[in-house]
Chains A and B, each alone.
Chain A
């Protein structure tokens, strides 16, 4: 990380505003004598993120959110967490802080953005929803059936995870990392492990690198298969949900059989992996993937040929490619709206750096396109797993971790199923000094708010599911 002065910081902010640098994350660190703000960015074509560091002795810093709306929520969270003020931030309402924890800075009742007009009324939904999903509040302003504006109010699952990680041992911090967003536990652990390994100057053994890729792709498959069904369910077609859920269950059972945990929690750790494939497991994976792929193609065919289902998904919840670009949306949401970033290819980390694979991208941006991108990713993930298994070398699955005395830092970007997960760590004496983990959902929630405008209330669950942003991932 490079320490910068105010001038350089402001130059960087302008660069982000002009699109020369991509905004990745911003977070605060007020644990020491002098508070700091950290900014991670990425240049087009660069295969790593760049982190800069600004001292904020008077607890203020020039806002990045003033140049780049994607940073607004994170800067609101920085004030909630550390009391650091972003000068020029267009929206200064609290975000994670609901006024419930000791030392809270949220003193006033939360105000939603005003919506004016004849006949507009509001529908408050959540935080407890009708389905088995995560908690969050949505404020709909509607005119008849049509949504004029929706505003998400999140933070309900804020667990103080980052604070628990600071000063924790690397192993304990790895456990917490695996529990930031359960559906992406492999992606998070992967990103954290790479950052720690960069900081300590170690590499996972070749066998572990391949196994990490297999786990990450199995996680992607399980989520895509389950969500494909769930999206169809929200479009009023439960038959495909039954099939999607069945295929997901098959994948989870395969994970349990091969690696000992259905969601593969705590398997990827700094230095390597904690579970190995036994003799015969490769054949098992191969067999299961063949069955699942065949059955998946059958339900895709049903999706393709059912006009009443496509009537619900085509044209629904369209995310404008310009907005996706502005907010830096990644994953299937970004790639269905003209974005091409895929960390597996563009960050070229092991084991993907040796593989050749296409990145499916489209630009129509509606719920149907997001489904189609995920269909292609299912096909691709199965192929990647088989290709990786062919390369699986013998050998150890963990490298010894060298001790760290002086502070060292590392960062990584890893492609999870819903988009790129960024991780940053600073380590000293075997303990975490500073850490940040950025979920792709930070950019997906604001994107969902824009995509929903002009849709009808009844299509909200469908739009929401087609984005499938994580609550816990960005509530932290």
Chain B
């Protein structure tokens, strides 16, 4: 094991440079944000994730944000365990009716100011599940959404671009 540890230190970093965001992308991503809230939160955001009925594909890519290639925390972004510690709520899935109450409660447990990010086609529009009796569809039908990151699932680079734009 020592060999592996020492090599991990000596081998150099696998972490890649941050993704470039064009001005146009940035403008689209931050258009709905409240600048005052932004000033108070500064360049560090605590993120809480809620699966509101996803197929788990979106979760896999959110988890991938923490691997050494993407290293989310170097941007001041940290996934936290409780909504009470969170500035950002990332929501995935087409808000199943069975998760609607839990999603609302999680949102209400967050201190203000905060942002809500809809992750994936399901959360943005309801995706292929939009018409179902068991789903509410877009997250914005249940709680106010500040940023949408489409994709099925959005890859980690799209997720990073979106999250970084919340801080810039």
Contacts and interface: CB of A to CB of B under 8 A. Distances in A.
Nearest to B48: A128
Interface residues of A, number: 54
A127 B54 contact: no
A182 B56 contact: yes
B66 A245 contact: yes
A160 B127 CA distance: 13
Given A134-B56, A262-B155, A156 B64 contact: no
A302 B4 contact: yes
Contacts of A342: none
Interface residues of B, number: 50
Interface in A7-51: none
Interface in A229-260: 239, 242-243, 245-246, 248-249, 252, 256
A294 interface: no
B96 A262 contact: no
A159 B134 contact: yes
A182 B60 contact: yes
Contact of A183 (B1, B57, B68, B127): B57
Contacts of B96: 156-159
Nearest to A252: B64
Contacts of A265: 57, 152
Contacts of B59: 132-134, 182
Which secondary structure characterizes the binding site on chain B? mixed
Contacts of A351: none
Contact of B106 (A128, A133, A470, A472): A128
A185 B57 contact: yes
Given A128-B102, A302-B4, A472 B55 contact: yes
Contacts of A127: 99, 102
Nearest to B52: A135
Contacts of A256: 155
B131 A164 contact: yes
A356 interface: no
Interface string B18-47: 000000000000000000000000000000
A306 interface: yes
Contacts of B14: 246
Contact of A100 (B57, B62, B63, B98): B98
A135 B58 CA distance: 13
A65 to B, nearest CB: 22
A305 B81 CA distance: 31
B51 interface: yes
Interface of B: 1, 4-5, 8, 14, 49-64, 66-69, 79, 81-83, 93-94, 96-102, 106, 127-129, 131-135, 152-153, 155
22 contacts: A100-B100, A103-B133, A128-B83, A130-B81, A156-B99, A159-B129, A159-B134, A160-B135, A163-B132, A175-B128, A182-B54, A239-B8, A245-B64, A245-B66, A246-B67, A248-B64, A248-B67, A252-B64, A263-B153, A299-B4, A472-B53, A472-B54
